[in-house]
Structures are given as structure tokens and as C-alpha cells.
Chain A
Amino acid sequence: MDNISEYTNIHMDAIREVGNIGTGNAATALSRLLGRVVDMDVPVAELVPIYEVADHYGSPETHVCAVLVRTEGEFSCSLIFMIDEEKADLLADLVIPMDISGMDAESRLQIRDSALSEQGNIILGAFLNALAQITGWVLPTTTPAVARDMLGSIMDLVASMFGVIGDSAMLVKTSLHIKELDEELGGTVIMIPDPGSLETLLAKLGVL
């Protein structure tokens, strides 16, 4: 199968289940880190034409923060954790053990980005650990990379990454919610398999 658009419900269910277990793991890891209750939505796996990916998560000019890690080996993919920028900063501040409000903007940004890259790494690492447990694969991760930009620009890259394989993107949409805060901090995990990797995964799961 060389085109994602040919996937059937059985394949999508298998992917959703991976997303489910992965997000559960990520929620637990984040909860442990923050000492707060973290809830998750039931993941949705769907096929979206790559040309519509940009509008799929919201307005293209929304400011977001995204953390990306990759795993390369038996199964290669990129994973992105994305969250609205102002929520990202609230999330970062939960683990920054000092008052940074008096610092200059550049230093604040650096400290927050560093916290976010660690949080993103924990969330995405937990997601990959679930995948490793299911498949028995060893899935080493790269160091995380952080970007603050327009939602549209991040999704532009995501669409291009899927675009190398075909014209559909398989989006696993999962959201994490942190309780005991005035504001809900919801983030999204996106898994982007490298060309050929989705077939490898589906074969391993026994549905291909």
C-alpha cells in the first residue's frame, strides 16, 4: 500500500489505539512531572488531504509553540507536541522553580523554551515508549527542537512531510488537559511517519 488514502477503518482503528496508549502514557508522565491531574481526550485518527492540514487545527495565524522529536531506526517518524503560545508559557512556568517576571524578554524566552523542550520531550518520549512497548521496537529519540510560530507555518511543514508520501495526512489528534488550573492547558500530539514507516507499523500491528 503506497498511498495513505487507501487506508481502511481497520488500519485507522489500529493507529488510533496506538495514539490512545501513547497519549495515556504521556498524560501519566506529565502528571508526574507537574504533580497535577492530567486528563486526555480520546484520540481521533483521521485522514485529511494535506491541502487542508493548515486549517485543521485552527486559524493559521494563531501563535503556537511546537516541540519536535524524531526517532530513527526500525521505525522512523517525527512527533510534534503543539500548544497555543500563551498556554505554552503557562505550562512552562509550572516547572520553572523561580520568579522570572523581572527578567528581560530574551532571558524569559530562553528559560521558557528550555522548560517547554523538556516537557515536550517527556510527553513525546512517553508516547514513543508506549509504541515501543506495543511493538517491541527500540525507539531512541533525538534531542527536542522548539519553534514558536504561526500555526499555519508549523502545519505547512507537517503537510510537506506527509506530501512526500502522497496527498493525505494521517492525523492522530490527542489533547491533554491539566486540571487544578484556572485555565485549561490543552496540547496536541501529531505523529508523522517517514515514508514507508506507516506500513512497517501497520504490518507490526498485524493489520496489513
Chain B
Amino acid sequence: MAQPIHVGMADLVVSKHPATLVTLGLGSCIGLVIFDQVSKTAGMVHIMLPDSRDAKNIPKPGKFADTAVPLLLEELAKLGASKAQLRAKMAGGAQMFSMPGKSDSAIFGVGSRNVEATTKMLAAAGIRLVASDTGGSKGRSVEFSTETLKFIVKTLGTGTKDL
């Protein structure tokens, strides 16, 4: 197995086979992987917030769903991925704390808004989302390997899922 590449907050990493991309401890953020199984290219991004509208500057486009998805597609294309073959898998967007009456507030609802915005960006780009594990109240760690094309999602307390 390839040495895992750690994708930190707002990081965007693309790689050719063989590669293992890892993000530890997603909370409200999204771990999104887009891959082309023919050219064996894959990219992962750790999205923090739904949209960049109010941002004054954007030093890391991976931070926002609306800037992360287009850049990830662009970087994958540079590596030789074919757009028609691209598929996406994602996990994250948990609501870590619940407070009565506040679940849709700016702070507590950020996870679900991240999921919504990322899903919308994928749909707009015509990328098929083939697997996802989102929402809930628990954090996740994710791992994607270009070898198996499996997206392994680990959730504290409930174990591991292969997506």
C-alpha cells in the first residue's frame, strides 16, 4: 500500500495510482474524494464551509464547497482524468453538538449545509455521487485507496464502513 497522504483542513490533494488519501477527525467538515478508475487518478479535499460568498480572500480554495469542487476537477483533469469517468464519494457533515432549537443555526447547522452545498456543486458539475456517509452527531476519519477505490469511513463508537 502506498504511504498515506494526509489531507489537512482545507487541503486539496490529487494523485495518480498508487495513492492512499487520508483525513482524520472530520467533524462538520466534508471529506470529498473524486476519482477516475480508468486513468487511476484521485483527489481528496477537506471542505470546511459551504460557500465563499462572504470571504474577503481565499488563500485555500479547498476551504469552501463552491471553490473546492471546481478546483478539484481542474487538478484531476491536469493529471489526465477524464471527466465522463469521474465519480465522487463523500463523508462528514456531522452536527457535533446539539442544542434544542438551534439545530439550523449558523454554527450548529454548518455540517448539513456543507453536505447540501457539496452535493449541489457535484450535481452542477455533472459528477455522480456514488457513495456518501453524512450527517449524524459523530466525527469520522476517512481513507481512500486508488488500489481498491474503497472509501473507508471510521466513526467513533460505530465502527468502519466500506463505501
**Residues of A at under 8 Å CB distance from B?**
2-3, 50-54, 60-61, 63, 66, 68, 70, 78, 142-143, 145-157, 159-161, 163-164, 166-167, 194
Number of A-B contacts (CB under 8 A): 107
Known contacts A142-B102, A145-B99; decide if A157 and B8 are in contact (CB<8 Å): no
We find that the number of chain B residues with CB closer than 8 angstroms to chain A is 33
A197 to chain B, nearest CB (A): 12
B55 to chain A, nearest CB (A): 8
Residue B60 interfacial (CB < 8 Å): yes
Chain B CB count within 10 A is highest, among A68, A160, A161, for A160
Pull 9 A–B residue pairs with CB atoms less than 8 Å apart, ordered by A.
A54-B9, A61-B24, A70-B107, A155-B27, A156-B48, A156-B139, A163-B48, A163-B63, A164-B106
Secondary structure dominating the interface of B:
loop
Q: Are A164 and B156 in contact (CB under 8 A)?
A: no
- Quick one: which of B70-116 are within 8 Å of A by CB? 94, 96-100, 102, 106-107, 110
Known contacts A54-B25, A152-B27; decide if A159 and B9 are in contact (CB<8 Å): yes
Q: B27's contact among A78, A157, A163, by CB below 8 Å, is which?
A: A157
Q: Are B24 and A152 in contact (CB under 8 A)?
A: yes
